[in-house]
Amino acid sequence: MWQLYIVGVIRFRQESLIAAHNLLKELEANESLTDEMKRVLAEIDSKLCAMNLMSESGPIGPVQTRGRETEFNEAKARLKSAEEKIMIWESNQSIICESGQEMAFEYIEAVEEVWGLVEWFRGLCSEGNENANEIVSQGDGVLQTAMNRLEEELEYILVQKRQSYEPTGVEDDGSSERSDDTTHEPGDIIFDLVDPDVVPFLKLIKKTMFVANHEQEFCAAYIRTEKEALEDCLIGLGMETLSIEELLKLEWTNLDSKIKTWVQVMKTAVQVYLRAEKRLCDEIFGDSHNTASICFVNTAKSSMTCLLTFGHAMSLGPHTPEKLFNLLDMYEVLVDLRGEVNSLFSGEDSSYVRAEFKEVLEMLGDCARATFLRFGGVILSDPSTDPFPGGGVHPLSSYVMNYIIVYLPDYCNTLNSLLQEKGEDANINTNQAVTENSKCTLGCHLRSITTNLKSNLEKKSLLYRDVALQHVFLMNNIHYIQQKVTGSELRGLFGDEWIRMQMVSYQQHATSYVRTTWSSVVTSLRDEGLPSGSGSGLRNILRERIRVFSTAFEEVYKSQTGWIIRDEQLKEELRISISQRVIFAYQGFIGRHSKYDIEKFIKYDSDELEDLLRDFFEGSQRSLHYARRR
C-alpha cells in the first residue's frame, strides 16, 4: 500500500512537471513578452526539465524510496557522463558541425543535461549540502568550456558555410552610359548568406547559449563575425573605406569610376546582403525581435556608414557641371533604396542610420540641383578669347547641347522634382515663348540655358572682324541648337514655338549674311550711271563693271571658301540664296548688254559661277589666279 502511494506521488509530480512545461511553452509564444521575460521563462523551463530528468531516475523531494544519497549519486553519475561527452571534444580537433547531424545534436543534448543537473545541484547547495558545492564548481567549468566551444562552432559556421553572391553588371566598362541595365537587378535576388542546412544547428546554439545565460557572448560573436564578413563582401565588390578628407583629394577622373562602382555596390549591399542579413537574424533569433534588431544593426552599421560617407563626400565637392549626372545617379539609387532602408532599420536603436541616410540623400539632391542651376551661369560666363576658325559650330555649343540633349533625358523626372522642391521657377533668364506643353520647371530652365548660350555666342561673334562671318557663325550655332532640340526627347520641354523662333533667328542671320557680303558685289551690276548710246565709252564702262564684279567675287571666294558650314542642308540653302541674289543679277546684267559685244570681257559665265559657289563654306581656303574662260 505504501509503495503504491509512492508511485502515485511520483506519477503526479511527473504529470505536474509536464503540465508546467506545456504552460511555459504557451507563455513563451506570447509576442507581447519582452526578451528578458522570455529568457526567464526559458530558464525556468530548463530547470523543470532538469527536475523531470531526476524524477525519471528517482523521486525528488522528501518522499524517497532509495534514499537521498542514492538520488545524489545517480545525478552525479549522469552529470559525469554528460561532462565526458563534452570534454571528449576538447581533445578532438574536429569541428562538431562537420561530424554529422547526429553528433552535433548529441553534443547539444549533453550541454543541456549538464546545465540542468548543475542547476539541480545548485539547489542542493542552497539547502546546505556541502558535497554539491564541488560538483557545481566543476560543472560550471565544463559549461564554460561548452559555451566557448559553441561560440567557436558559431563563428566557424558563419565563416565557412557562408555563400557568395556574384552580381551581374557591377563592373564598369568605362562608358558614359548609365550602368543600371543589368541581367539581374539586385532587388530580384533572394539570397541566403549561409548554407540553409546549417541554420537549424545555429538556432540550437543560440537557444542553448541563451538558456545558459550566455546570450551576450553569443550576440558578440555573431556580430563580430558577420560584421567582418559583410565588410569583406562589400570591399570585394568595390567599397572603399576612405575618409571624407581622402575622397575630396582624389582627381575627378578617379572619382567618376568610383561613383559608378558605388552606385552598384549600394544596390547590392541593401537589396542583397543587408536583406539577407536581416532574414538570417530573424530566423536565428526567432521571437527575440529586439535582440535580432540589435544584432542586425550592429552588424550592418559600419558598412552603411562607410557607403554613406562616400555619398556625403561627393555632395561636398565643387559644383562643377561634369559631376551632375554622377550626383543624380547617386541620388536616384538612394531614392530607390529609401523604403527598404527604412524597413531594415525600423527600430529605435537604428534611428541614427535612417537619419544619416536621409541626410546624405538630401545633400546629394541639393548638390545636384545647385550644380544644374549653376550650369547656366557657367555657360554665360564662358570666356571669349579667340574667334573660332571658319565660323563653324563652337565647341561650347556642342558641349552644352550634348550635355542637355544626350545625357539629360534619363534624369528629367528626377531633376524636375528636385527643382520643384525648392520652387526654382523665379528669375529665369529667358525671353522665349512658352507653350502649355513646355511649362514644367525643367523646361523653363532648359530654355534659360540655351538663352545664356546664345548670349555668350553673340559675344563670341564680335571677335570676328568680318560682319558677314559674324552672321555665319551665329547662323551655324543657332541652327545647330535648334536641330539638336528638334531631334531629341526633350523637344516637348522646349515647345514648338521655341523651335520656330530659333528657325526664324538663324534664317535672319542667313539673310543678313547674304546682304552684308553680296550687296557690294552686285552693286557694279546695276544700270544706274550708265551713259546713253552705244559708243566705246559705254563698252569701256561695261567692261570695267564686269571686271569689278569678277574681282569682288574672287575676293569673296578667297575668304569664304575657308569658312565652314557642316550641315549640308543649311549649306545648300545658303548657296541657293547666294545664287538667287548674285547669279541672277549677273545673268540679267549680261543679258541686258549682250548687244554691245561684251562677251570677250566676261571672265566667268553664270555656270562657272555656280560651280565656284560649290567651293564655298567647305573650310578650305582657295584662290582664283587665272580666268577659267578665255
DSSP of 72-114: HHHHHHHHHHHHHHHHTTTT--S-GGGS-HHHHHHHHHHHHHH
Q: What is the pLDDT of residue 5?
A: 29
User: In the structure, what pLDDT confidence band is assigned to residue 607 with cuts at 50, 70 and 90?
Assistant: very high
3-state secondary structure of 195: coil
pLDDT tens readout for residues 179-200: 444 444 555 678 899 999 999 9
Q: What is the pLDDT of residue 25?
A: 54
Task: Tell me the mean pLDDT in the region 567-591.
Answer: 94
Task: Tell me the mean pLDDT in the region 37-43.
Answer: 59
Q: What is the pLDDT of residue 62?
A: 37
Q: What is the pLDDT of residue 37?
A: 64
CA distances for 53 relative to 72, 287, 353, 565, angstroms? 13, 27, 48, 99
Q: Which residues contact 26 (CB under 8 A, 6 or more apart)?
A: none
Percent of the chain with pLDDT over 70: 81
Q: What is the pLDDT of residue 614?
A: 94
Task: Tell me the mean pLDDT in the region 455-464.
Answer: 96
Burial class (CB in 10 A: 0-12, 13-18, 19+), 478: buried
Greater pLDDT, 58 or 27: 27
First to last CA, the chain: 153
Q: What is the pLDDT of residue 26?
A: 59
From 624, 533, 538, 614, select the one nearest 578 (Cα to Cα). 614
Q: What is the pLDDT of residue 508?
A: 97
pTM of the full predicted structure?
Answer: 0.78
Question: Is pLDDT above 90 for 512?
Answer: yes
Provide the grid cell at 284: 536565428
Locus of grid cell 548543475: 118
Give the span between the Cα atoms of 509 and 420, in whole angstroms.
Answer: 37
Question: Is pLDDT above 60 for 589?
Answer: yes
Q: What is the pLDDT of residue 440?
A: 79
Q: What is the pLDDT of residue 122?
A: 86
Q: What is the pLDDT of residue 174?
A: 41
Contact 156, 202 (CB under 8 A): no
pLDDT tens readout for residues 353-397: 999 999 999 999 999 999 999 998 899 999 888 899 999 999 999
Task: Tell me the mean pLDDT in the region 315-340.
Answer: 92
Q: What is the pLDDT of residue 471?
A: 97
Greater pLDDT, 36 or 121: 121
Nearest-5° angle of CA 138, CA 140, CA 199? Answer: 130
Q: What is the pLDDT of residue 449?
A: 95
Q: What is the pLDDT of residue 349?
A: 87
Question: Is pLDDT above 60 for 407?
Answer: yes
From 102, 115, 123, 185, select the one nearest 147 (Cα to Cα). 115
Percent of the chain with pLDDT over 90: 54
Question: Is pLDDT above 60 for 517?
Answer: yes
Which conformational region is residue 498 in: left (phi greater than 0), alpha (psi within -120 to 50 degrees), or beta?
alpha
Question: Is pLDDT above 60 for 540?
Answer: yes
Q: What is the pLDDT of residue 196?
A: 92
Give the span between the Cα atoms of 473 and 433, in whole angstroms.
Answer: 24
Mean pLDDT taken over the chain: 83
Q: What is the pLDDT of residue 516?
A: 95
Q: What is the pLDDT of residue 33?
A: 60
Q: What is the pLDDT of residue 8?
A: 38
Q: What is the pLDDT of residue 167?
A: 57
User: In the structure, what pLDDT confidence band is assigned to residue 31 with cuts at 50, 70 and 90?
Assistant: low
Q: What is the pLDDT of residue 241?
A: 85
pLDDT tens readout for residues 132-178: 888 888 888 999 999 999 999 999 999 999 988 875 544 444 444 45
Query: What DSSP assignment string belongs to 251-320?
Result: -HHHHHHHHHHHHHHHHHIIIIIIHHHHHHHHHHHTT-HHHHHHHHHHHHHHHHHHHHHHHHHHHHS---
Task: Tell me the mean pLDDT in the region 513-541.
Answer: 83
- Residues composing the chain: 630
Burial class (CB in 10 A: 0-12, 13-18, 19+), 564: buried
Question: Is pLDDT above 60 for 425?
Answer: no
Task: Tell me the mean pLDDT in the region 23-29.
Answer: 58
Question: Is pLDDT above 70 for 331?
Answer: yes
pLDDT tens readout for residues 485-497: 999 999 999 999 9
Q: What is the pLDDT of residue 188?
A: 61
Greater pLDDT, 291 or 130: 291
CA dihedral 243, 278, 182, 165 (to 10 degrees): 90
Task: Tell me the mean pLDDT in the region 443-470.
Answer: 95
Q: What is the pLDDT of residue 28?
A: 56
3-state secondary structure of 162: strand
